[in-house]
């Protein structure tokens, strides 16, 4: 599933040269937050992934009367794969479904962050 995510990122036009810090990979996107999130969702669906949820944190902040730059969290996965992982070790469920965060920084740049495949593998080995 992790390899599929990297392939999908390439397909939606996000360079894979990334920064890794504390198990998090962050990639710069040439698109807006909504465009990046839409492209990621389409690429994930095209690869047979299920989109479980799309959470617009900025909209939630607005409803609470608080400012927040565009921030979208996408929860996705493949139940056939995830279930097999959880059959081996149910604690794997803490990281499932997988998550991708698309957000805009204070300079207006869009970023996509997700957990490093190596970090996830080491966490659950």
Instruction: Indicate if the pLDDT at residue 5 is higher than 80.
Output: no
Domain parsing of the chain, residue ranges: 31-108
CA 46 – CA 110 distance, rounded (Å): 23
Which tens digits make up the pLDDT trace of 57-108?
999 999 999 999 999 999 999 999 999 999 999 999 999 999 999 999 999 9
H or E element that contains 2: helix 2-11
pLDDT > 90: percent of the chain: 73
Instruction: Indicate if the pLDDT at residue 21 is higher than 80.
Output: no
CB 99 within 8 Å of CB 71: no
The answer to pTM > 0.95 is no
Pick the CATH number of 31-108 from 3.30.310.70, 3.40.50.300, 3.40.640.10, 3.30.1320.10: 3.30.310.70
Strand 110-115 versus strand 24-29 pairing type: antiparallel
């Amino acid at each position: 599933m992790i390899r599929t995510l990297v392939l999908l990122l390439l397909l939606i036009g996000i360079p894979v040269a990334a920064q890794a810090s504390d198990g998090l990979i962050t990639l710069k996107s040439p698109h807006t937050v909504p465009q990046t999130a839409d492209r990621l969702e389409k690429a994930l669906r095209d690869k047979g992934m299920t989109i479980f949820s799309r959470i617009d944190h900025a909209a939630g902040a607005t409803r609470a009367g608080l400012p927040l730059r565009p921030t979208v969290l996408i929860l996705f996965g493949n139940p056939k794969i995830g279930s097999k992982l959880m059959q081996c070790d149910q604690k794997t469920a803490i990281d499932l479904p997988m998550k991708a965060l698309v957000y805009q920084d204070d300079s207006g740049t869009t970023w996509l962050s997700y957990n490093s495949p190596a970090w996830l593998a080491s966490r659950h080995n």
